[in-house]
């Protein structure tokens, strides 16, 4: 009989955590269409527009260690509540600054959202990992990922419909109208469309904080010792290289989700099409989670499946290059990039608990470093947008994505060799070396 992935605490805390992951996904995966939105609303070039993911994900580098200290001081429940209020404040600030057409303030709002998310991630990821058996952690995180990515599908689509219904027409009008009152009016009206949705999101986050405060959650200490694969002693080398793998993973995940709009435009797709592409990547990612929840660990271990996902990601990258070389335009190469969402889906659910297990008796600090690694979402897309004008959009994308998958796969294979994982599960089988 297969044990429930919910663990000994039952499904109630899992569902509460899933609601939090939904809010994380809704806020996070707006960044893709936001890049297009700010580019039009503020008349920006690609590099300046890509400050959106950079400011958002760079917060993950600066705030996790202070967030860890705060969570240890005030506890899990209060940490979650504070995180949601901070996110609400950042969301409201972003909406107000965009409406006022103050780009620096809007980026500041995204940084505040990232700070709130840092505190939220510090608690929810290890909390979910520690709710039950370590071997079922990937399944629980995959459930969280399903909620996260469902929000990630919904958020860009709602944003495209409510905020950017005629973005191509607006962009075309701005190109034909010189600077002056008429142009300023068009830009002001376009920017104002973001105000009501972001005010509503801020209100929902406040409501969610109140609901969490009134709910009953089991108290699980982040400083409790977690089982490691070779005793209770920490393994700094594997921890550091695992954090590096997480950095590269988040970078390539954000690249596939947020940069796909620019990638699509390089193949002649209009803004009215590219504004939906982030949702397409997230739909593929959700499919990956659903498949992962079925096959892990029933047919294949979470570690082997991670290697398979990396190989699949490399294959999709190569297919995208072939499609780009043969078609030169259209949806074929863009669909290959969207399918990277499927390959990416189960990497974090496997990587996070495996790296956390190497922390020995200090998983709280390890969690902070893992969340700091989410800043890969700031660095990798920035490298891409600077590299693309020099070598081409498709070439720059693959020159970054393929090495990321290679490093992650090599790390996991080395880890498996170290822990002498030699048994071959039924179903999908992968060669370890």
Q: Are 378 and 247 in contact (CB under 8 A)?
A: no
Q: What is the DSSP letter of 3?
A: P
% of the chain at pLDDT higher than 70: 85
What local confidence, expressed as pLDDT, does residue 359 receive? 66
pLDDT tens digits, one per residue of 7-44 = 666 677 778 888 888 998 899 999 999 999 999 999 99
CA atoms of 106 and 60, how far apart (whole Å)? 17
Residue 5 lies in a domain: no
Q: What percent of the chain has pLDDT over 90?
A: 54
pTM confidence score: 0.86
**Top-confidence residue, 433 or 259:** 259
Asked if residue 424 belongs to a domain, the reply is: no
pLDDT band (50, 70, 90) for residue 223 = low
Counting the structural domains of the chain, the total is: 1
pLDDT at 137 over 90: no
Lowest-confidence region among 136-140, 354-358, 409-413: 136-140
In a domain, 333, yes or no: yes
What is the residue range of 104's domain?
Answer: 11-418
pLDDT(116) > 70: yes
pLDDT at 347 over 80: yes
Q: Provide, for the chain, the percentages of residues in helix, strand and coil under a 3-state DSSP scheme, each rounded to the nearest 5.
A: 75, 0, 20
Residue 305 placed within a domain: yes
376: Cβ–Cβ under 8 A, 6 or more apart, which residues?
57, 246, 247, 248, 249, 250, 251, 254
2: in domain: no
- Does 432 reside within a domain? no
pLDDT in tens, 329-341: 779 999 999 999 9
Residue 433 lies inside a defined structural domain of this protein: no
Q: Note the pLDDT of residue 429.
A: 34
CATH code of the domain covering residue 178: 1.20.1250.20
The chain-wide mean pLDDT, for the chain, equals 85
In this predicted model, what pLDDT tens digit does every residue of 227-247 receive, in sequence order?
444 444 557 788 889 999 999
């Amino acid at each position: 009989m297969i044990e429930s992935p919910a663990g000994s605490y039952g499904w109630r805390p899992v569902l509460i955590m899933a609601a939090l992951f939904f809010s994380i996904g809704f806020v996070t995966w707006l960044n893709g269409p936001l890049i297009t939105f700010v580019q039009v609303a503020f008349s920006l070039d690609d590099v300046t527009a890509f400050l959106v993911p950079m400011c958002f994900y760079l917060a993950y580098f600066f705030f996790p260690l202070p967030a860890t200290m705060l969570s240890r001081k005030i506890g899990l429940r209060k940490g979650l509540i504070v995180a949601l209020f901070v996110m609400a404040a950042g969301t409201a600030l972003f909406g107000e600054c965009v409406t006022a057409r103050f780009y620096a303030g809007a980026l500041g709002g995204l940084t505040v959202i990232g700070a709130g998310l840092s505190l939220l991630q510090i608690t929810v990821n290890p909390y979910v990992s520690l709710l039950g058996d370590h071997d079922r952690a990937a399944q629980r995180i995959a459930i969280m990922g399903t909620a996260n990515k469902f929000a990630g599908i919904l958020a860009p689509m709602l944003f495209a419909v409510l905020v950017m219904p005629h973005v191509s027409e607006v962009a075309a009008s701005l190109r034909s109208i010189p600077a002056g009152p008429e142009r300023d009016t068009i830009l002001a009206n376009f920017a104002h469309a973001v105000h009501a949705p972001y005010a509503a999101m801020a209100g929902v986050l406040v409501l969610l904080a109140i609901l969490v405060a009134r709910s009953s959650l089991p108290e699980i200490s982040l400083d409790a010792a977690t089982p490691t694969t070779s005793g209770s002693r920490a393994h700094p080398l594997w921890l550091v290289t695992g954090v590096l793998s997480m950095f590269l993973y988040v970078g390539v995940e954000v690249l596939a989700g947020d940069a796909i709009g620019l990638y699509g435009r390089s193949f002649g797709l209009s803004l009215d099409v590219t504004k939906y592409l982030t949702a397409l990547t997230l739909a593929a990612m959700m499919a990956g989670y659903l498949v992962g929840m079925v096959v892990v660990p029933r047919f294949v271990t979470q570690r082997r499946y991670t290697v398979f996902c990396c190989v699949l990601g490399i294959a999709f990258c190569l297919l995208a290059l072939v499609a780009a070389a043969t078609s030169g335009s259209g949806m074929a190469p863009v669909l290959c990039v969207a399918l990277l969402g499927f390959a990416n889906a189960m990497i974090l659910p496997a990587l996070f608990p495996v790296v956390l297990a190497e922390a020995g008796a200090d998983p709280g600090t390890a969690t902070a470093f893992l969340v700091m690694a989410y800043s890969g979402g700031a660095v990798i897309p920035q490298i891409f947008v600077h590299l693309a004008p020099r070598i081409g959009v498709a070439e720059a994308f693959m020159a970054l994505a393929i090495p990321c998958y290679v490093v992650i796969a090599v790390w996991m294979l080395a880890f498996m060799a170290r822990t002498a994982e030699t048994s071959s599960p039924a179903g999908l089988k992968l060669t370890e070396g």
